[in-house]
Chain A
Amino acid sequence: MSRDSKPELVLRPRVAAALQRLRDSRDGGAVGVIGEIVSQLLGCEEHALLVLGEGGARLQPIAAMGLTPQRLESLLAPEGIIGQVARHGVPYLVGRTSSVGALAHEAGLTACIAIRSGRQVRGVLALFRMLPQKRSLTGEDLELLDVISEEGAPAFSDPRGGAFILQPPSTEPLPSRTAPGLRALFLQPGGVVTAAQPTEVTTILGSCVSVCLWDEHLRLGGMNHFLLPTAPRGQLPCGRHGEAAIPMLLRDLERLGSQRRNLRAKVFGGAHVAGAPAGGAGPTLGQRNAELARRLLAEAGIPIIAEDLGGRVGRKLRFRTEDGLALVKTLEGG
């Protein structure tokens, strides 16, 4: 792509890489490329690639990952949402399009798209469970799905054949990720959590910073985990950026009834684990994250009663919302 192209024509790296790899694999390897796009670029851990048989009577599996053989078998009758997509070519996207007509075995379907040659639907790609850190499909994810829809058909005649990484049949139900009644949770980077019920929140920090806030009167609290002090240019600030993550945490606690004057802060992270010597060319990312936390908390009038910031090691942090107890374990490398 020319550097002189208009900015709106420049594809983002994720989409551009997917497009180029699919075009380069027209003569073989498209099945593998679709698998890489789905698992690595979209963050989906269960999918099935199905080709529409003669007359559209049945779907045949070309590739699948993470599904049990029984689950894969249940998807092959062209019924339910997957059948609708195969017949009409209109994509299904959870939360964005109607799920009317979904069948029981389609529970957990995140997206289903048609894969075409020209105008003809040749097959479908069904995405089920996403990785735990992948919360929802973004606009860029939809562009990736469009690329697969338009460029993925060579997978149906891939001389290198299909690819199946199936789960063994399960006789016991899988353990729930968040067992009911167990008030312990892991906070992913970019997350903000507040809890009115006693909860232990765990997270792991390198250069990222977590602010823990505790209301000593109501005995409740919350925590964030931000990666950058401010949003990169052109991006909306969110929980991944301190400038948004700290106000979000404060607002959520105020919604639970907290008053700012009763809040106490503990701040952790901001390390420079390895790399250019700190102090070489200005503050490190960890220092900038820590400085932002201190500044925003000072502006909000919230005292920092404990902190463990900087240094050159990662930290595992456990915070109890009930009594504000924070335990830090350093993660020594080597």
Chain B
Amino acid sequence: MAEPKKILLVDDSPTVLLMERLLLQDGPYELLSVTSGQEALETALSARPDVILMDVVMPGMDGFEVCRRLRAEEATRATPIILVTTRGGPEHIEQGYESGCSDYVTKPFDGNELRAKIEGLLGH
């Protein structure tokens, strides 16, 4: 049996993290979650997730900055990162892609769509 794919969930809202867990818990995934940009950076480099779902607005390092730093690291250069955020303005979406995200999803999101995007990035 194939190893479950590892998904790193990053959000400073415990409610959002719980919702993402409930959404994905029945899939063939191992779920990790952290609540800050700094922890996201460290966990992404140590645990090497297959996909990262990351909030943008967080205290300390924001999701754009984490994205840029992960893209600068050889180990995470190609790791799919989906930014999941309330920031839906064109300038924010543009900034997201320029910081290296793979996809940009605005909150509140549709669970089926998010699952389809994750599966698409995992090559299912």
Contact = CB atoms under 8 A, between A and B. Distances in A.
A315 to B, nearest CB: 8
Nearest to A133: B88
A91 to B, nearest CB: 19
Contacts, number: 150
A333 B97 contact: yes
The 5 closest A-B pairs by CB, nearest first: A333-B100, A285-B120, A276-B123, A314-B97, A331-B97
Interface in B1-53: 13-16, 18-20, 22-23, 51
A54 interface: no
Contacts of B15: 17-18, 21, 33, 36-37, 40-41
B102 A14 contact: no
A206 B97 contact: yes
Contact of B78 (A16, A228, A234, A274): A274
Contacts of A131: 86, 88, 106-107
Interface residues of B, number: 48
A39 interface: yes
A204 interface: yes
Contact of B122 (A45, A275, A334): A275
25 contacts: A12-B111, A13-B19, A14-B108, A18-B19, A20-B18, A37-B15, A41-B16, A41-B19, A45-B86, A132-B89, A203-B90, A204-B97, A227-B116, A235-B110, A240-B110, A273-B80, A273-B97, A273-B102, A274-B100, A275-B80, A277-B123, A280-B123, A281-B123, A284-B123, A316-B97
B73 to A, nearest CB: 11
A331 B94 contact: yes
A199 interface: no
B102 A206 contact: yes
A188 B15 CA distance: 25
A273 B101 contact: yes
Interface in A1-28: 12-14, 16-18, 20-21
A17 B71 contact: no
Given A36-B14, A133-B88, A232 B98 contact: no
A109 B72 CA distance: 45
A21 B16 CA distance: 10
B93 interface: yes
A275 B107 contact: no
A334 B72 contact: yes
A204 B122 CA distance: 22
Nearest to B123: A276
B107 to A, nearest CB: 6
A42 interface: yes
B86 A232 contact: no
A275 B113 contact: no
Contacts of B80: 273-276
Nearest to A14: B19
